[in-house]
Amino acid sequence: MPESFYQPDNFRPQNSIGYLIRRIHKLGLSRVEADFADLEITFTQWAVLALLHSGIADTCGGLARNLGHNSGAMTRVLDQLEERALLRRAQDPEDRRVTKLRVTDEGRAMIAALGPRVMGIWNEYLEGFDRQEVLVLIDLLTRLLGRLEHLEGNCGGQRP
Protein backbone atom coordinates (compact mmCIF):
# COMPACT_ATOMS: atom_id res chain seq x y z
CA MET A 1 0.00 0.00 0.00
CA PRO A 2 1.47 3.40 -0.93
CA GLU A 3 2.34 5.81 1.84
CA SER A 4 -0.37 8.37 2.58
CA PHE A 5 0.47 11.83 1.30
CA TYR A 6 -0.34 13.75 4.47
CA GLN A 7 1.80 13.02 7.48
CA PRO A 8 2.13 14.89 10.81
CA ASP A 9 5.36 16.52 9.64
CA ASN A 10 3.94 17.93 6.37
CA PHE A 11 0.29 18.76 7.09
CA ARG A 12 -0.32 22.52 7.13
CA PRO A 13 -3.30 24.66 6.06
CA GLN A 14 -1.18 26.01 3.20
CA ASN A 15 -0.98 22.54 1.63
CA SER A 16 -4.32 21.14 2.81
CA ILE A 17 -6.55 20.49 -0.19
CA GLY A 18 -9.61 21.19 1.97
CA TYR A 19 -8.32 24.60 3.05
CA LEU A 20 -7.21 25.52 -0.46
CA ILE A 21 -10.53 24.55 -2.07
CA ARG A 22 -12.52 26.35 0.62
CA ARG A 23 -10.39 29.51 0.30
CA ILE A 24 -10.62 29.46 -3.50
CA HIS A 25 -14.38 29.02 -3.25
CA LYS A 26 -14.75 31.90 -0.80
CA LEU A 27 -12.62 34.33 -2.81
CA GLY A 28 -14.13 33.28 -6.13
CA LEU A 29 -17.70 33.47 -4.89
CA SER A 30 -17.18 36.93 -3.37
CA ARG A 31 -15.86 38.25 -6.68
CA VAL A 32 -18.58 36.73 -8.86
CA GLU A 33 -21.37 37.80 -6.48
CA ALA A 34 -20.02 41.36 -6.56
CA ASP A 35 -19.98 41.23 -10.35
CA PHE A 36 -23.68 40.25 -10.31
CA ALA A 37 -24.68 42.94 -7.79
CA ASP A 38 -25.90 45.37 -10.45
CA LEU A 39 -28.00 42.76 -12.27
CA GLU A 40 -31.61 41.68 -11.92
CA ILE A 41 -30.50 38.15 -11.01
CA THR A 42 -28.10 36.91 -8.33
CA PHE A 43 -25.20 34.61 -9.08
CA THR A 44 -26.90 31.85 -7.06
CA GLN A 45 -30.01 32.20 -9.21
CA TRP A 46 -27.89 32.07 -12.36
CA ALA A 47 -26.06 28.97 -11.05
CA VAL A 48 -29.40 27.25 -10.35
CA LEU A 49 -30.54 27.92 -13.91
CA ALA A 50 -27.20 26.75 -15.32
CA LEU A 51 -27.28 23.49 -13.31
CA LEU A 52 -30.84 22.79 -14.40
CA HIS A 53 -30.09 23.62 -18.03
CA SER A 54 -26.99 21.41 -18.09
CA GLY A 55 -28.86 18.45 -16.59
CA ILE A 56 -26.69 18.24 -13.48
CA ALA A 57 -29.83 18.47 -11.34
CA ASP A 58 -33.55 18.63 -12.00
CA THR A 59 -35.08 18.73 -8.51
CA CYS A 60 -34.87 21.00 -5.49
CA GLY A 61 -32.98 18.32 -3.56
CA GLY A 62 -30.48 17.77 -6.36
CA LEU A 63 -29.81 21.50 -6.60
CA ALA A 64 -29.45 21.82 -2.82
CA ARG A 65 -26.88 18.98 -2.74
CA ASN A 66 -24.88 20.37 -5.66
CA LEU A 67 -24.84 23.96 -4.37
CA GLY A 68 -24.48 23.18 -0.67
CA HIS A 69 -27.73 24.88 0.35
CA ASN A 70 -30.47 23.55 2.57
CA SER A 71 -33.77 22.70 0.89
CA GLY A 72 -35.58 25.65 2.51
CA ALA A 73 -33.12 28.17 1.09
CA MET A 74 -33.23 26.43 -2.28
CA THR A 75 -37.03 26.53 -2.30
CA ARG A 76 -36.93 30.32 -1.80
CA VAL A 77 -34.52 30.70 -4.74
CA LEU A 78 -36.76 28.49 -6.89
CA ASP A 79 -39.84 30.52 -5.87
CA GLN A 80 -38.08 33.72 -7.01
CA LEU A 81 -37.06 32.19 -10.32
CA GLU A 82 -40.53 30.78 -10.93
CA GLU A 83 -42.14 34.16 -10.13
CA ARG A 84 -39.93 35.69 -12.81
CA ALA A 85 -40.89 32.92 -15.28
CA LEU A 86 -37.27 31.71 -15.54
CA LEU A 87 -38.14 28.16 -14.52
CA ARG A 88 -41.18 25.94 -14.28
CA ARG A 89 -42.10 23.27 -11.76
CA ALA A 90 -43.92 20.16 -12.97
CA GLN A 91 -44.97 16.96 -11.30
CA ASP A 92 -42.91 13.98 -12.49
CA PRO A 93 -45.30 11.79 -14.50
CA GLU A 94 -43.47 8.66 -13.31
CA ASP A 95 -43.50 9.59 -9.61
CA ARG A 96 -46.12 12.13 -8.53
CA ARG A 97 -44.23 12.76 -5.27
CA VAL A 98 -41.35 14.33 -7.23
CA THR A 99 -41.39 17.84 -8.64
CA LYS A 100 -39.16 18.29 -11.67
CA LEU A 101 -37.73 21.67 -12.61
CA ARG A 102 -37.35 22.97 -16.15
CA VAL A 103 -35.72 26.15 -17.41
CA THR A 104 -38.07 28.27 -19.53
CA ASP A 105 -37.14 30.06 -22.75
CA GLU A 106 -36.67 33.22 -20.66
CA GLY A 107 -34.38 31.31 -18.31
CA ARG A 108 -32.30 29.97 -21.20
CA ALA A 109 -31.97 33.52 -22.53
CA MET A 110 -30.75 34.66 -19.08
CA ILE A 111 -28.17 31.84 -18.96
CA ALA A 112 -26.92 32.75 -22.43
CA ALA A 113 -26.80 36.48 -21.67
CA LEU A 114 -24.83 36.08 -18.43
CA GLY A 115 -22.66 33.10 -19.37
CA PRO A 116 -19.98 35.34 -20.94
CA ARG A 117 -19.80 37.35 -17.71
CA VAL A 118 -19.12 34.21 -15.67
CA MET A 119 -16.63 32.90 -18.23
CA GLY A 120 -14.85 36.25 -18.18
CA ILE A 121 -14.46 36.08 -14.41
CA TRP A 122 -13.05 32.54 -14.56
CA ASN A 123 -10.75 33.48 -17.43
CA GLU A 124 -9.48 36.36 -15.30
CA TYR A 125 -8.82 33.96 -12.41
CA LEU A 126 -6.92 31.64 -14.74
CA GLU A 127 -4.61 34.29 -16.18
CA GLY A 128 -1.05 33.00 -15.97
CA PHE A 129 -2.12 29.38 -16.47
CA ASP A 130 -1.65 27.89 -19.91
CA ARG A 131 -4.35 25.79 -21.56
CA GLN A 132 -2.70 22.48 -20.60
CA GLU A 133 -2.43 23.52 -16.94
CA VAL A 134 -6.14 24.41 -16.88
CA LEU A 135 -7.03 21.05 -18.43
CA VAL A 136 -4.91 19.22 -15.84
CA LEU A 137 -6.50 21.25 -13.02
CA ILE A 138 -10.00 20.43 -14.28
CA ASP A 139 -9.07 16.75 -14.63
CA LEU A 140 -7.62 16.56 -11.11
CA LEU A 141 -10.58 18.36 -9.54
CA THR A 142 -13.00 16.13 -11.45
CA ARG A 143 -11.19 13.03 -10.21
CA LEU A 144 -11.23 14.34 -6.63
CA LEU A 145 -14.94 15.11 -6.91
CA GLY A 146 -15.63 11.63 -8.25
CA ARG A 147 -13.69 10.09 -5.36
CA LEU A 148 -15.61 12.12 -2.79
CA GLU A 149 -18.94 11.26 -4.43
CA HIS A 150 -17.95 7.60 -4.44
CA LEU A 151 -17.07 7.72 -0.74
CA GLU A 152 -20.31 9.53 0.06
CA GLY A 153 -22.31 6.93 -1.86
CA ASN A 154 -20.53 4.00 -0.22
CA CYS A 155 -20.56 5.36 3.29
CA GLY A 156 -23.76 7.38 3.51
CA GLY A 157 -21.63 10.49 4.00
CA GLN A 158 -19.65 8.88 6.83
CA ARG A 159 -15.93 8.11 6.81
CA PRO A 160 -15.08 4.44 6.29
How would you label 81-114 residue by residue, b for 16+ Cβ within 10 Å and e otherwise? beeeebbeeeeeeeeeeeebbebbeebeebbeeb
pLDDT per residue as tens, the chain (160 positions): 578 999 999 999 999 999 999 999 999 999 999 999 999 999 999 999 999 999 999 999 999 999 989 989 999 999 999 999 999 999 988 888 889 999 999 999 999 999 999 999 999 999 999 999 999 999 999 999 999 999 988 765 444 4
* Residue 5 forms part of a structural domain: no
Q: What's the confidence (pLDDT) of residue 3?
A: 85
| Residue 64 · residue 70 · CB < 8 Å | yes
Domain assignment of residue 148, given as a range: 128-160
Number of domains composing the chain: 2
pTM of the model: 0.85
Q: What's the confidence (pLDDT) of residue 155?
A: 62
Q: What share of the chain is helix, strand, coil (3-state, %, to 5)?
A: 65, 10, 25
Q: What's the confidence (pLDDT) of residue 94?
A: 86
Q: What's the confidence (pLDDT) of residue 154?
A: 74
148 and 80 within one domain: no
137 and 85 within one domain: no
